[in-house]
Amino acid sequence: MRGNCYPHPSLSPEGRGKICQTQVQKVSYMDIIAKLEKYRLENKIPQQEVAIKLGVAFSTVNRWLNRKAKPNKIQSYHIEKLIKRKS
């Protein structure tokens, strides 16, 4: 694959999967954060549990939800994946 691709171990059993920028759905980070907060509240999940599911620190999730930081592309991909899994 050419372009903005990077290795992603969870995409293949051998750990050699790649994800490209074109594969990541173009959604503004504000939309993703709003969806994450809605998902969290509807499912009564604390921020700590969301952090564990996404493999990030509690403080990272807290900064996203308080609009102090935004998730990077990989984190955005995993947030969308988490939301779709439960929907």
Q: Which domains does the chain have, with CATH numbers?
A: 25-86 (1.10.260.40)
- Contact between 30 and 74 (Cβ < 8 Å): no
pLDDT on residue 28: 77
Across the range 4-11, mean pLDDT stands at: 59
pLDDT on residue 30: 84
Across the range 56-77, mean pLDDT stands at: 96
Q: Model pTM greater than 0.75?
A: no
pLDDT, one tens digit per residue, over 25-56 is 455 778 999 999 999 999 999 999 999 999 99
